[in-house]
Structure 1
Amino acid sequence: MALPPVTTGMAVTFGLVFAALALFVSEKLPPDVTAIGILVALAVLEPLTQVSPAEALSGFGSAATLTVLAMYILSEGVQRTGIVERLGLFLGRITGGEERRVLAATVSTTGLSAGFVNNTPVVAVFIPMVTDLAEQAGISRSRLLMPLSFAAMLGGKLTLVGTASNLIASDLAVDLLDRGPIGMFEFTPLGIVVLVVGIVYLVTVGRWLVPERVAVDTDLTEAYEMEDHLSLVTVREESPFVGESVHEVQEVIDGDEEVRADLLRIERDGEGVIAATTDRIVETGDALVVRSTLRDLNRLVERYTLRQLPREVVTEEDLLGERGQLVEAVVLPDSDLVGTSIGESILTRRLDTTVLAVKREGELLREDLAERRLRAGDTLLLQTTPAAAQYLTDTDDLALVREPKRPLGFDEVEPEPLSDRTPIALATLAGVVLVAALDLLPIVIAALAGVFVMLVTDCLSTRQAYDAVSWNVIFLLAGILPLGMALQRTGGAALVAALLAEVSAFVPTLVLLGLVFVVSGLVAALITPVAMTVLMIPVAVDTASRVGADGFAFLLAVLFAGGAAFATPIGYQTNLMVYGPGGYRFTDFTRVGLPLQLLLAVVVTVGIAVLYGV
């Protein structure tokens, strides 16, 4: 079988693909910014890429993009009813604290929820629930958080609306195959098999492989290894700090170029107050909790006539004070905090919150934090107030890892009352699914109609609807879709498909189908399932036509591979969300996720052959 010749247009398009892949993997630019850059390049290079400016912009008006946008809003409407939190409390009450039951209940509930509600908010809500479950049961939360993310990914393949990549696949099915859009429940039978197999793996083999990275009942200062960065000092009578307010003292320290330190708490006569929330005047004998390196501490003590208490270990309790909380929180993918430096963020400027440490991709950051820019998935150790913590979670900037006020024993917890709009929100989502399933309206129209109903019935305000949308994903979608178009028109997809088809001379078609799944899954683990789906489906469909196989079967292999990006923490945003809270290392995802990915390669390949034919 002869390979098509490599043209200049094909080479340019491949160059753009490799540039996009390099930027996605290196994270030199946010993925959505990369996608917009690719969009512009495709239009500017129209004679070579064969994508006109109008076609380069067509991604913004595609059915997939608009449906994803609408489903974010519908998910938010359901989320605000409080029904997901109640599921978590119910889960806590029925498990009885036994580890295997806790794990099975966690992954089952999460997987089923993610089939209909966007899995990012599901995981955001379940992180504190699961952490509390682990604490109640005496289990390391590391044992539950990775399975939580994997289950959310698996559940996304239960229905067409489970993930954005499903909707893209449906759009591409119309363009590339002689058929209509994928039905709402068309691949649900295989999705159920995949979810069941995944759950069985997670509660058996996966349970044995998932490491215990965070010990039970670990003090937060110990978990973040703060012992060399937190100290207790007292104010001597001759100290220049005497008579100054706490804020003035901090300003003096900030103005000293040779000392870098932060005041965290001031204590007098057994009463402690968070430094960021008070204007208290410093007096002789006051005890100050300071965050600094040992070198800076020595300079601070010497310059400002303080006395260090070397034998005093600063614990979590020492950082609380009146109206204070010490919390862990994850920066969500769509947070306004992403890209802002800690020193200039709303945390320090307006919310009386101090970032004590950051967990990022297995690394623990505790120095020079003010200049560091926050990333999605960063786990922050915060000294804050209840009001500030509530504000940040309400605005969907952060997800708390552990609810600071939740008592042990879920029977003692009274859930918040459900919204009076709960029946409307749930009925609206069910109506959208039913209308699309019965093919009464295209799914994009059904979803937009659902958004309209939620807005006019006050399930959501207009602002909440706009805030619910992951605009970075929308721009990623709109920017990357034309790249798939260029691959098809220049013959790039045909060239890759021809190379894959050459393999068919040595292996059966079923094995080739499994190879497409494995390759797609590994690509998704590096560049996100959305980008992988756009790039791989044209290749998979062309490969099928060259070997005389069913193009829909190969499309399904890519679709399900998009939900199997388990091998790295960077492939899917829910993996990033549990990376820090679970204390995981990069290789933990490979150890637990790669065997599951290979197992599903067999299950999906055989399942497609049995249920849909090859």
Structure 2
Amino acid sequence: MGFEQAALTAILGGMLAAFAAGRWRYDVVAMAGLMAAVAMGLVPADAAFAGFANPAVITVAGVLVLSRTLTRSGRFDAVAERLLAGVSGLPGQLAVLCGLAAAASAVMNNIGALALFMPVALWAAKRHGRSPALYLMPLSYATLLGGMTTLIGTPANLLVSRFRAAAAGEPFGMFAFSAVAVPLAVLGIGYLALVGWRQARTNAGLEPDDAPDDLPLYDTELTVTPASPYRGRLVAELERERHARVTGIVRDGRRVFARLAEEALRAGDLLLIRVDVAALHTLAASGGLVPPVPAQGDGTFAEAVVAPNAVLQGSCAASLDLEGRWGVTLVAAMRQQRRTEGRLADASLSVGDVLLLHGEPAAIRTAIDELGCLPLADRRIDPQPRRTAVAGAVFTVAVLLAALDIGPPAIVFSVGVLVLVVARCLRPSEVYDAIDWPVIVLLAAMIPLGDALQSSGTAGLVAGALLAEAGGVGPQAMLTLVLAVTMLLTPVLNNPATVIVMSPVALSLAGRLGLSADPFLVAVAIGASCDFLTPFGHHNNALVMGPGGYRFTDFARLGIGLELMVIIVAPLLIPLVWRF
């Protein structure tokens, strides 16, 4: 192993560890890895930022803008609710909901598809008295299944197509993955609707004593009023009767350091408390414990989840000045599996956190939109039906032009965005707001590293090691091995980074075996979309973790069946379409 190979392996190993730790944003990790490679001479300085001009990156940006225009219309919500209204059984509802989400995910990014149908899933759960946990994880997995079916469904497919174009001179077509991915998606949705939901941990039907451990809990602050029935009573009594957890008391501006369970509550005490949302409303209504909302004004409550591109990531309510800028109050926050230490306004927020906001409906809508969060309630229908109609027509034409190979996808979708701006369906500022810039930076930073993997011979080195370990197995077994390794990497690296690492290896492996690279590249594309084991490998899983009240292990409990299905069925289907 030469210096270049050893240095590149060390850089990728460090990036793998950083991605797995989850302490730094993935775009920061990718850019740090790229700069390290430039400093060591592994990537030429004049090629360091060539990824930003790559057609795959431009196509992703165009799809993000066009799909964002459609998601804001609210039309999909109404259609889905009408279809679900006539279906009462849970398997039927999941089949409809997951089928629609997968279809939407095939032509827009996965997060956009989830944003469309998450409010519908919560509406269905509430209407039929079921736990949201039965709907949300299957919905997230369905968007991942749908994304693998077309070229533009996920950035991973676009990156795989780029590697094929570089190696064979021709990229994959719009529906090149469909013959393999559509049957997998159909089987996967059938599994989710008939079997998978039974593996989802649900808080429905729990005994009262079990509720605090299983219901989604919010961190909030409640003030004890002079008329509160809990005034003068012990904290332990409040916790027992209301299934709450008092984590701190602020009295006369100072934190109380004592055995909280034995502390008697006084008027004016500020309780730092963890409680489910139903108990929170009950405490505010009849418990004499006041949440942090203005005394005057009616207002309303709304829930929203922090999205991957939200501007409030890493910020807190105090620094954002929610009340001063938008006139809304952060009443409570469900911060995944993290506890809030100190005051609610000082808590750092991250992807997947659920916020309970209070304010006037128009102010809440504006705040959610400008902060980049996803509403967990029915959306307001877009008051500009012309904009929705034009956006839908432009998107449809763009997909058809790309599918018929009339123009490169990057050009077609860029022209589509330009048409919407000229037609005044989009303001230029909305174009930039719609792009998920961390994803763009991740892709652009990883592409030169992928090129370095090939040019330095590191990919060939890994391919040789795989061949040595596998012995003399046949092409089918090697295809299964490539698929399995990709599926193991994607929960740690995320799917674009996994493709950047595995595609050069797949190309080198196919070359050493004297086989076509297409089956191996398709296996990489399929495997990179199969993050069914963890909440952090794909943002969609992180987004449903809070609203669904899931634990880390819940994802593997439901997803292991999907993983096994893919690893058994995909190696059988791929050679039927893409010959060795």
| TM-score, normalised relative to structure 2 | 0.86
CA–CA distance in 1 between the matches of 2:114 and 2:213?
25
Q: Please point out which of 440, 457, 460 is paired with 1:474.
A: 440
Cα 1:331/1:145, change in 2 over 3 Å = same
CA displacement at 1:354 relative to structure 2: 3.9
Letter in 1 for 2:82: F
The question of whether the paired residues in 1 share the 8 Å contact of 2:47 and 2:448 is answered with: yes
Cα 1:75/1:581, change in 2 over 3 Å = same
1:387 paired residue number: 362
CA displacement at 1:419 relative to structure 2: 1.3
Where structure 1 has 5 or more consecutive residues not aligned to the other structure, the ranges are 1-5, 237-252, 261-292, 304-311, 407-413
CA displacement at 1:376 relative to structure 2: 1.1
Q: Please point out which of 117, 120, 123 is paired with 2:114.
A: 123
Q: 2:346 matched to 1:371?
A: yes
CA displacement at 1:471 relative to structure 2: 0.3
CA displacement at 1:508 relative to structure 2: 2.5
CA displacement at 1:215 relative to structure 2: 6.7
Percent sequence identity over aligned pairs: 32
The question of whether the paired residues in 2 share the 8 Å contact of 1:224 and 1:364 is answered with: no
Cα 1:356/1:394, change in 2 over 3 Å = closer
Cα 1:359/1:113, change in 2 over 3 Å = same
CA–CA distance in 1 between the matches of 2:336 and 2:202?
17
CA displacement at 1:79 relative to structure 2: 2.3
Letter in 2 for 1:32: D
Q: Please point out which of 412, 417, 439 is paired with 1:446.
A: 412
Cα 1:366/1:294, change in 2 over 3 Å = farther
CA displacement at 1:482 relative to structure 2: 1.3
Q: 2:315 matched to 1:340?
A: yes
Q: 2:432 matched to 1:437?
A: no
CA–CA distance in 1 between the matches of 2:136 and 2:194?
16
CA displacement at 1:255 relative to structure 2: 11
CA deviation profile, 1:439-472 (whole Å, cap 9, x unmatched): 1111111111111111111221111111000001
1:161 paired residue number: 152
2:520 paired residue number: 554
CA deviation profile, 1:54-105 (whole Å, cap 9, x unmatched): 111111111111111111111122223433223332233232x321111111
Q: How does 1:397-416 map onto structure 2 within 5 Å?
A: 397-403=372-378
1:187 paired residue number: 177
CA deviation profile, 1:279-306 (whole Å, cap 9, x unmatched): xxxxxxxxxxxxxx77998477589xxx
Report the structure number with the largest CA radius of gyration. Answer: 1
1:12 paired residue number: 7
CA displacement at 1:390 relative to structure 2: 1.1
SS at match of 2:333: strand
Cα 1:494/1:226, change in 2 over 3 Å = closer
CA displacement at 1:334 relative to structure 2: 0.5
Q: 2:98 matched to 1:107?
A: yes
Letter in 1 for 2:45: P
Letter in 2 for 1:91: L
1:424 paired residue number: 390
Letter in 1 for 2:532: F
Where structure 2 has 5 or more consecutive residues not aligned to the other structure, the ranges are 229-248, 271-278, 286-290
SS at match of 2:86: helix
CA displacement at 1:513 relative to structure 2: 0.9
CA–CA distance in 2 between the matches of 1:400 and 1:76?
14
1:91 paired residue number: 83
Q: 2:327 matched to 1:327?
A: no
**Aligned Cα root-mean-square deviation (Å):** 3.1
Cα 1:215/1:351, change in 2 over 3 Å = farther
Letter in 2 for 1:327: A
CA–CA distance in 2 between the matches of 1:347 and 1:125?
25
Q: Please point out which of 200, 211, 229 is paired with 1:210.
A: 200
1:133 paired residue number: 124
Cα 1:524/1:228, change in 2 over 3 Å = closer
| TM-score, normalised relative to structure 1 | 0.81
The 10-residue stretch of structure 1 (502-511 or 183-192) with the greater mean CA deviation from structure 2: 502-511
The 10-residue stretch of structure 1 (187-196 or 81-90) with the greater mean CA deviation from structure 2: 81-90
Letter in 2 for 1:588: D
SS at match of 1:355: strand
CA displacement at 1:575 relative to structure 2: 0.7
2:224 paired residue number: 232
Q: 2:549 matched to 1:583?
A: yes
Q: 2:43 matched to 1:35?
A: no
